[in-house]
Amino acid sequence: MVAVSPTHHSSEENQSFSVPTIDMSLDRILVSNKIVQACEEYGFFKLVSHGIPNRIISNMEEESYDFFSKPACKKQEAGPPSPFGYGCKSIGLKGDMGELEYILLEANPSSISRRSITMSADPNKFSDAVTEYVQTIRDLSCEVLDHMAQGLRLPDKSLSCLIKDDDNDSCFRVNHYHPFDDNNNIENSINCPLIGFGEHCDPQIITILRSNDVGGLQIYSKDNHWISVPPHPAEFCVFVGEALQVLTNKRFLSVKHRVLANFSKQSRISMMYFAAPSLAASLSWLPPANSPFGPRLYRNLTWGEYKKVVYSGRLGDQRLEFFELS
Active site residues: 268
Among residues 202, 243, 260, 270, which is the contact residue for ligand GA4, using CB under 6 A? 202
**Residue 151 interacts with ligand GA4 (CB under 6 A)?**
no
**Residue 311 interacts with ligand GA4 (CB under 6 A)?**
yes
Among residues 203, 216, 231, 277, which is the contact residue for ligand GA4, using CB under 6 A? 203
Q: CA 161, 164, 170, 172 torsion: positive or negative? A: positive
Q: Which stretch binds ligand GA4 (CB under 6 A): 70-78, 86-94, 132-140, 185-193?
A: 86-94
Q: How far is the CB of 102 from ligand GA4 (least distance, A)?
A: 8
Pattern of binders to ligand GA4 over 256-275, x per CB under 6 A? ------------------x-
Residues 6+ apart with CB under 8 A from 167: 278, 279, 280
Q: Which stretch binds ligand GA4 (CB under 6 A): 150-158, 179-187, 199-207, 295-303?
A: 199-207
Pattern of binders to ligand GA4 over 168-187, x per CB under 6 A? ---x-x--------------
Q: Environment class of residue 326 by beta-carbon count within 10 Å: exposed (0-12), middle (13-18) or buried (19+)?
A: exposed
Report the distance separating Cα 176 and Cα 270, nearest Å.
Answer: 7
Nearer to ligand GA4, 150 or 170 (CB): 170
For residue 101, the cross-strand partners are 88, 176
Q: How far is the CB of 291 from ligand GA4 (least distance, A)?
A: 31
- Helix or strand or coil: residue 35? helix
Q: How far is the CB of 319 from ligand GA4 (least distance, A)?
A: 8
Q: Which stretch binds ligand GA4 (CB under 6 A): 70-78, 283-291, 295-303, 305-313?
A: 305-313
Report the distance separating Cα 117 and Cα 101, nearest Å.
Answer: 19
Q: How far is the CB of 104 from ligand GA4 (least distance, A)?
A: 6
Binding-residue total with ligand GA4 (CB under 6 A): 17
Is the separation of the CB atoms in 127 and 172 below 8 Å? no
Nearest in space to 268 (alpha carbons), one of 200, 208, 213 = 213
**Residue 91 interacts with ligand GA4 (CB under 6 A)?**
yes
- Helix or strand or coil: residue 30? helix
Q: Which stretch binds ligand GA4 (CB under 6 A): 46-54, 132-140, 261-269, 308-316?
A: 308-316
The amino acid occupying position 232 is H
Residues 6+ apart with CB under 8 A from 123: 113, 116, 117
Nearer to ligand GA4, 235 or 242 (CB): 242
Q: What is the DSSP secondary structure assignment for residue 320, as one 8-state letter?
A: G
Report the distance separating Cα 117 and Cα 123, nearest Å.
Answer: 5
Nearest in space to 47 (alpha carbons), one of 268, 247, 239, 253 = 239
Among residues 43, 85, 92, 277, which is the contact residue for ligand GA4, using CB under 6 A? 92
Give contact residues for ligand GA4 (rule: CB under 6 A). 83, 91-92, 94, 96, 104, 171, 173, 200, 202-203, 274, 310-311, 313-315
